[in-house]
Structure 1
Amino acid sequence: MKLCRFNGGRLGVVRPEGIVDVTPVLDLLPAQRYPLPRHDLLIAHLPALLPAIEAAAAVGERFDPVQVFYDPPVANPGKIIGAPINYQAHAQESASNAQIGHGRAITSIGDWGLFLKAGSALVGVSAPITLRFPERRNDHEIELAVVIGRRCHQVAQADALQHVAGYATALDMTLRGTEFQCFRKSIDSYAVLGPWLVTADEVPDPGALDLWLNVNGEPRQRANTRQLIYDVPRLIAFASSFYTLEPGDVIMTGTPEGVGPVLPGDLIEAGVQGLGDLAMRVAPDYA
C-alpha cells in the first residue's frame, strides 16, 4: 500500500486511478493526553488500521495526484537518523574534494557512527527547499528512507526488517562546512520525505533499489542500494544498539556519489525505484 499525507494533513491511499481520501480513518486513532508519546501515532497503529483504510478507500473521494500538496508522509518522527559516507564511492569523492570533506579524515560509517537531523527540518515534496548562507555550498543528497514501524532496542540484523513500516524517497540536503553534521543538515527544509510511504510488504528487498537525481535536467546521482556499506538491516541494528527506535522514526540510509551544489531556482528531480519520484524547486531566494 502507498499512503500519503496531503492538503494540510489529509490521509490518502495512492492508487492508479488517483489519490483516495481516507482521512476519516484518523478518527480511530486513540485520544492522547499530556505527556504525549514520542512516536508517530498513525505509524504505531497502522497494522490495526489497515482494514479500515481499505474499506475507506472503496468509497473515498479521489484527487488528481499532480494537483495535491504533499505533506511529509510521516507527520511526527521522533528521530530523523542520518547515515554518513555509507557508499564507498561517496566516501572517496568526499576524501578527494575539499569542498565536501573540509579537511576531515574520511574513514568509514563504522568510525563516524550515525547523526540526528532536527524534526523541524522535515518537509514534504510539495514544499520548496529554502537555502541559507549564499556564501557557502548547499548540496543535494538522494537517499532511501526507512520508516520504523515497531519499537525496538538492540535488535539483531536478522530480525531488523520485521520492525519496518515502510520506505520513502528522501533528500538529505546539506550545508557544507566544518560544523557537526547534525548542525549543518538540520536547517529548515533540509530533510525532504515523500511523496508517499510505501509499506514494507511492497518492497521485498530494500537492498536492490535504483536511486537517481537530476538538477535542471542534468544527471547527478545514479546508484543502487546494493552498494550500501551498511545495508538496511545492519543500519537498523546499528542504530538500535545506541537508540530505542520508535514507530515513525526515519533512517536516511546514506547518499551515493555525485553530490553537488544547488542554487535558488534550481529544479531537483529524484526518485528511488518503486517508491515514487519527486520534482522540487529550490526557493528563488535565500532565507
Structure 2
Amino acid sequence: MRLAIFDETRLGAVVAGGVVDVTAALPWAYDPDPATAGWWRRLCGEFDEVRDRLAAAARDGEPVPLDRVRLRAPVLNPSKLLAAASNYADHVAEMHGVQERTLGRVEHWMMDFDVFLKAPSSVIGPADDIVLPPAVLAAGHEVHHESELVVVIGRGGRDIPESAALEHVFGYAIGLDITVRSDGDRSRRKSYDTFSPIGPWVTTADEAGDPADFDIELTCSGQPRQKVNTAALITPVPAIIAYASSVMTLVPGDVIFTGAPPGVGPIVAGDVLDTSISRLGEMRIQVKQPTFPQY
C-alpha cells in the first residue's frame, strides 16, 4: 500500500487514479494537528491491525488526481530523524576529494559508518522547496544533495536484533539529505529548515519488497548525478536498525536516512532535483533562495 499525507494532513491511499482519502477508516481519533499526530504514530506501529480497513476504503473510495492535491511530507512530527553516515564505499572514496576542496583537509573519522541526528523541523514534502540559508551562501560554503532511501519505523523497540529488524519497518520513502560542506557538527550542517525533503508517499514494507534491491537515481537540472542500487550499502537496512536501536529506543514514526550514494554535488538556487527509487516513486524538488527577511 502507498500511503500519502495530503492537503490538511489527510491520510490518502495512492491508487491508479490518484489518491483516495481513507482518513475516516482509521479506528482512532483523528487529530489534524501535525504537532501531535498521535494517529500517525499509531498507524505506523499498528498497521497490521488496520491494513484491511484501509485497503477496503481505498477500493471503495473515489480517487482524486494527484495534480489536484498537495502532497505533504509522508511523516508527521517524528520523535527522531536519524541518518547513516559513510554507508556506500564509493561515496566514502569521493568524500576525500570533497573534503580536500571544501575544508582543505580530510576528516578521517567521518569516513567510518555511524548514525547521527537531524532536526525533525528540517522535514519538507514533495511539493515544497529547498531554501538555501543566506548565511551559508554569504560564507561561500557549498550545499550538496544526497538522495537516499528512507526507512519509517513501525513497531519500535530497543536492542532490536538484526534478524528481526525488518519486522519493525512500517515502510520506505525517498529522502534528500541536504548538507552544508563546512566545518562543524554534522547534525547542525544537515538540520537547516527544508534540508530533509521526504516523499512522495510511504510505500509499506509488505508492498515495497527487499530494501537491499532498490535503484536510486538523481539528476540535478537534467544532469545525472547519482545512480546506485541499495545492494551496495556497507551497512544494510537491518543492521542500521539494530545498531541505532542499541543506542536509542526507536518509536513508531521515527525516520532513518540510510546513507548517501556516490555522486553528491553542489546545488544552487534555480536547480531542480529529480530523484527516484524503484518501486517507491519519484519526486521533483526545486532549490530556491529565501524570499523573506532573515533575523
Q: TM-score, normalised by structure 1?
A: 0.92
Aligned counterparts of 2:190 and 2:12: Cα–Cα separation in 1: 29
The residue aligned with 2:3 is: 3
Aligned counterparts of 1:5 and 1:63: Cα–Cα separation in 2: 13
SS in 1 for 2:199: strand
Aligned counterparts of 2:103 and 2:166: Cα–Cα separation in 1: 32
Gaps of 5+ in 1: none
SS in 2 for 1:56: helix
The residue aligned with 1:143 is: 148
The residue aligned with 2:22 is: 22
Residues 37 and 77, structure 2, Cα contact 8 Å, conserved in 1: no
Deviation sequence 1:210-231 (CA, Å, 0-9, x none): 1000011000001110111100
The residue aligned with 1:105 is: 107
The answer to whether 1:183 aligns with 2:213 is no
The aligned length equals 282
The residue aligned with 1:282 is: 287
Q: CA deviation at 1:44?
A: 2.2
Deviation sequence 1:87-111 (CA, Å, 0-9, x none): 01110111122245663433576x4
Residues 2 and 13, structure 2, Cα contact 8 Å, conserved in 1: yes
SS in 1 for 2:129: coil
Q: CA deviation at 1:112?
A: 5.2
- After TM superposition, list the pairs within 5 Å mapping 1:135-174 onto structure 2: 135-174=140-179
SS in 1 for 2:108: coil
Aligned counterparts of 2:60 and 2:14: Cα–Cα separation in 1: 14
SS in 2 for 1:58: helix
Q: CA deviation at 1:30?
A: 7.8
Identity %: 38
The answer to whether 1:80 aligns with 2:81 is yes
Residues 94 and 101, structure 1, Cα contact 8 Å, conserved in 2: no
SS in 1 for 2:85: coil
- 1:201 aligns with one of 199, 206, 231: 206
Deviation sequence 1:50-73 (CA, Å, 0-9, x none): 222122223323211133211111
- 2:269 aligns with one of 264, 268, 283: 264
Q: CA deviation at 1:178?
A: 0.8
Q: CA deviation at 1:242?
A: 0.3
Gaps of 5+ in 2: none
Aligned counterparts of 1:40 and 1:197: Cα–Cα separation in 2: 13
Aligned counterparts of 2:62 and 2:258: Cα–Cα separation in 1: 35
Residues 37 and 76, structure 2, Cα contact 8 Å, conserved in 1: no
SS in 1 for 2:12: strand
- After TM superposition, list the pairs within 5 Å mapping 1:116-131 onto structure 2: 116-131=117-132
Q: CA deviation at 1:209?
A: 0.9
SS in 1 for 2:288: coil
Q: TM-score, normalised by structure 2?
A: 0.89
Aligned counterparts of 2:44 and 2:190: Cα–Cα separation in 1: 25
Aligned counterparts of 1:92 and 1:201: Cα–Cα separation in 2: 34
Displacement over 6 Å in runs of 4+? none
Q: CA deviation at 1:25?
A: 2.7
- After TM superposition, list the pairs within 5 Å mapping 1:18-57 onto structure 2: 18-26=18-26, 28-29=28-29, 40-57=41-58
Aligned counterparts of 2:195 and 2:180: Cα–Cα separation in 1: 9
